Amino acid sequence: MFLEPNFKGQRSGWIEVVCGSMFSGKTEELIRRVRRAKIANQKVIIFKPVTDVRYDIKKVISHDHNEIDSLPIRQSKDILKYTSGIEVVGIDEAQFFDSDLPDICQQIALRGIRVIVAGLDMDYLGRPFGPIPHLLAISEYITKVHAICPHCGNLATHSYRLSEETDTVVLGEKDKYEPRCRTCYHMGNILNFSR
């Protein structure tokens, strides 16, 4: 079914995913893209999960302390309540949302809205994280950003957990995680398992 364009001649919406490890600049890139949309006088809204309270309850804040207002929500379906008249939707920490997020993003894009999603592509065990793999499959644009491994200086693609906690979701910063390249990540896990 063809949907009529609903703003400024845009024929259709699309989904962009910015993914990578912790400290790779995902949120920074999301904020940059949303600010550029604001400069273009587009109507934007940003969402984040209510569980992400590391820096602020309401704002999306990068590790470099750039910030932008957002709307914390519990379930991805709640996003649909706030997209009327919106041209750009930003979603931060997408890995923490439920499995309905890809379908919700698809519905929003079909309304002619640009959807920018940022999130971790892998959990601390190196496994695909939450709805991100599905979002990568259905998105038009994918940007994988990298941190720098503090052990060898190579590109970091993994989020290495420094704490002993074993839950998949453990909120934390540099006190609990560090970015690592593939080799240093695996060497660290081998040393941890041999203790």
Select which of 29, 93, 164, 173 is catalytic. 93
Nearest-angstrom CA–CA distance, 182 and 159: 10
Q: How far apart are CA 158 and CA 33, in angstroms?
A: 24
Distance of CA 55 to the CA centre of its chain: 16
Burial of 126 (0-12, 13-18, 19+ CB in 10 A): middle
Q: Which two tokens stand for residue 113?
A: 């809205």
Looking at the DSSP assignment, which residues form a beta bridge with residue 178?
Answer: 160
178 is catalytic: no
Q: Which residues are catalytic?
A: 93
